[in-house]
Amino acid sequence: MEEKAMARVTTALIGCGVRGLSYHGPVTKASEKLDLVAVCDVDEARRTFASQKLGVPAVADYHALLARPDLQSVIVVTPARYHAPIALDAIRAGKHVLVEKPLADSPEAAYGLADAAEKAGVVGMVCYPTRMSSYGKNLKRICDQIEPIQGLFTAQRGPLNAMFFMPEHFGGIVDDTTHTIHLAVWCMGGKPSGVFASIGRGNICGDQTIDRFDLVVEFDGGNKVVTIVSSMLGLYAENLVQVIGNLGLVSSTDRRSLRVVRHPPITEPGRRSARQEWEKRRAQIAAATLGPVDELTLGRPIDVEIEKIEESTRPESDGGMDDHFADVITGATRLQGASLRDGGLVVQITDAAVRSVQTGTRITLL
């Protein structure tokens, strides 16, 4: 027990609001891999409450934490606009950082963090829990097998709390869609190259809050694409995920099961078949999957598996993400969570989406 305690990675919570107290506080307190040594909040009532609840000292100014040589890491759980300045100070002080989503309020700030962490040689990770869940891992595993070409990710949440009603593009439904953008981009793989978007503001309160958000992200020059659809309007809507690939497709409406269809390659990358050649090829695909060619025309699915995901996303993501952060710091495992660069890409895509709407054009991602 003594040995375990000594090996734990020391950490502190910066931001003791809803997320800090409902998730990172209890999770780090109970962790065998992290040792929560302090909490910090600019709000006196919140830090006092957190200190009492978690049984660790509280400070008002995070710089006081960063000056502690015994502190190895921090978890940044403030509102989004403060993530980057706080995380940058922490990285420069040599602390490993786990930062809540979205990583920053601009791509420059987000990628600046990634650069700084690489330079300082510290671990940086962004809190996208679906990536650590059974659902996320299995969806990604199958996507890696089917060579994705076209994806659809919907995220209908219904009206969010009043705190999310703000005109900035890290508030509103975008606050939640950041998870979907991250999951979609991770699952599709490849390099995003362009974004088209449409947003709806003020449908609910007549203000400037983005409450409907639709975006199309192209990859690798446009040969691969994902559409993301989200809003605060779709009460009890099913959240469909469907990825169509060269070697099959995967879909889910409940995050607890995946429908997987597998078949031989439909396209030959980089090569367009002459019509006659394609007929031959189509017959081969049909023979390998459906039998007679006509059945391919009917599109009867073959090789359909339903993969049940036994656990819900919650149990594994609860604590798993923070413990994984500790494991990466100690070198017990390589980073599987979202890196600062992954988080930067999500911020860059979000920023491009808003610019696409402002200009009415497709935004090229460099």
Report the alpha-carbon distance of residue 92 to residue 94 in Å, rounded.
Answer: 5
Interacting span for ligand NAD (CB under 6 A) from 8-16, 66-74, 235-243, 335-343? 8-16
Q: Which is nearer to ligand NAD, 109 or 250 (CB)?
A: 109
Does position 347 interact with ligand NAD (CB under 6 A)? The reply is: no
How many C-beta atoms lie closer than 10 Å to residue 112's C-beta? 18
Give the residue closest to ligand NAD by C-beta. Answer: 17
What's the CA gap between 87 and 110, in Å, rounded? 10
Strand 9-14, strand 148-156: pairing: unpaired
Q: How far is the CB of 22 from ligand NAD (least distance, A)?
A: 8
Nearest distance from C-beta of residue 242 to ligand NAD, angstroms: 23
Which of 16, 113, 142, 309 touches ligand NAD (CB under 6 A)? 16
Residue 104 phi/psi, 5° resolution? -155, 175
- Of the listed pieces 18-26, 181-189, 209-217, 338-346, which binds ligand NAD according to CB under 6 A? 18-26
Q: Smaller CB distance to ligand NAD: residue 65 or 114?
A: 65
Interface with ligand NAD, residue 24, by CB under 6 A: no
Q: Which stretch binds ligand NAD (CB under 6 A): 13-21, 88-96, 190-198, 270-278?
A: 13-21
Beta-carbon count within 10 A of 15 CB: 28
Indicate whether 40 belongs to the interface with ligand NAD (CB under 6 A). yes
Distance CA 80, CA 87 (A): 11
Strand bridging mode 9-14 / 34-40: parallel
The tokens 């979205």 sit on which residue?
A: 102
> Which stretch in 41-49, 103-111, 267-275, 296-304 sits in contact with ligand NAD by CB under 6 A?
41-49
Nearest to 185 by CA among 15, 350, 7, 4: 350
String of DSSP letters for 29-81: HH-SSEEEEEEE-SSHHHHHHHHHHHTS-EES-HHHHHT-TT--EEEE-S-HH
Binding test (CB under 6 A) with ligand NAD, winner from 10, 42, 264, 336: 42
Site for ligand NAD in 150-209 (CB under 6 A): 175
Summarize as ranges the residues that interact with ligand NAD (CB under 6 A).
14-20, 40-43, 46, 62, 77-80, 82, 86, 100-101, 127, 129, 175
